[in-house]
Amino acid sequence: MSFKNIIDEREKGKIRFAKSQVEKAYYLGEFKENIIVALHKNQLEEDSVYMEIIEAMKEKDAVLMKMRRDVSLKKLKPYIDEAEKLGIKYQLVDGISYRGDVALVVVSEEAMENSDEDLVLRDMDQDFIDAGLGEDFSKARGKKICKSCFKDLEEKLPDYRGSFKKMNIFDKIIGHKCPVCGKK
């Protein structure tokens, strides 16, 4: 091996090290290879519970869940409760060395083949936006919506039917409004 090749290998090693340190700072102090799934801060704060996180905690390799301390405990509580039920350790972390907006990660015991994947889950709102329904539907999950909005949902995103309830005549009588369109 020539002197030039030795220098090149040394430089490549430095670059790999720097890249891994940047990834580690992005994923709350964990190497990307050990991350099963992640969520951004705005996803935790704006949306309801992501079932994909619960499912990731149920994987046999899942050993730890890390969450940023600057996210409201009210939003983290469902994930903490589930981690306790499953016997998975969890940590609230804060640090000035963390970069980016990742706020929750589920960590695997073993390195995974995920180096080319985007590990952050797709935002729930995006499904509704892509289907042409808008963010209002996403924000109304778990609530009662009018028949018209429910029909739109059934046509465009039938998989989400279970996340909504239809308003009935009693709801209309007592003055409940549809959280999506604002009609009684």
pLDDT computed for residue 122 by the predictor: 78
The fraction of the chain above a pLDDT of 70, given in percent, is: 92
Confidence label for 3 from pLDDT (cuts 50, 70 and 90): low
Per the structure, how many domains does the chain have?
2
Q: How confident is the model at residue 116 (pLDDT cuts 50, 70, 90)?
A: low
Average pLDDT over residues 54-80: 92
Residues 138 and 87 in one domain: no
Q: Compute the distance between CA of residue 79 and CA of residue 37 in angstroms, rounded to an integer.
A: 13
Average pLDDT, the chain: 83
CA angle 100, 106, 109 (to 5 degrees): 120
102 and 146 in a single domain? The answer is: no
Percent of the chain with pLDDT over 90: 24
Contact between 28 and 106 under an 8 Å Cβ cutoff? The reply is no
Greatest mean pLDDT among 9-13, 81-85, 94-98, 161-165 lies in 81-85
pLDDT of residue 115: 60
Residue 164 lies in a domain: yes
pLDDT of residue 22: 67
Taking every pair of C-alpha atoms in the chain, what is the biggest distance, in angstroms? Answer: 85
* Residue 146 structural domain: 125-173
Give the model's pLDDT for residue 184: 59
Q: Is the pLDDT of residue 1 over 70?
A: no
By the 8 A CB rule, do 33 and 25 touch? Answer: no
Would 42 be classed as within a structural domain? yes
Confirm if 67 and 4 have CB atoms less than 8 A apart. no
Phi, psi angle pair for 41, to nearest 5°? -60, -45
Residues 6+ apart with CB under 8 A from 154: 161
**Same-domain check for residues 115 and 130:** no
CATH at residue 104: 3.30.1330.30
pLDDT in tens, 35-46: 999 999 988 887
What is the per-residue pLDDT for 27?
Answer: 80
Are 103 and 143 members of one domain?
no
Q: Which two tokens stand for residue 26?
A: 């992005």
Last residue of a domain, one of 77, 97, 121: 121
Q: Mean pLDDT, to the nearest integer, of 124-148?
A: 81
User: What's the pLDDT at 10?
Assistant: 75
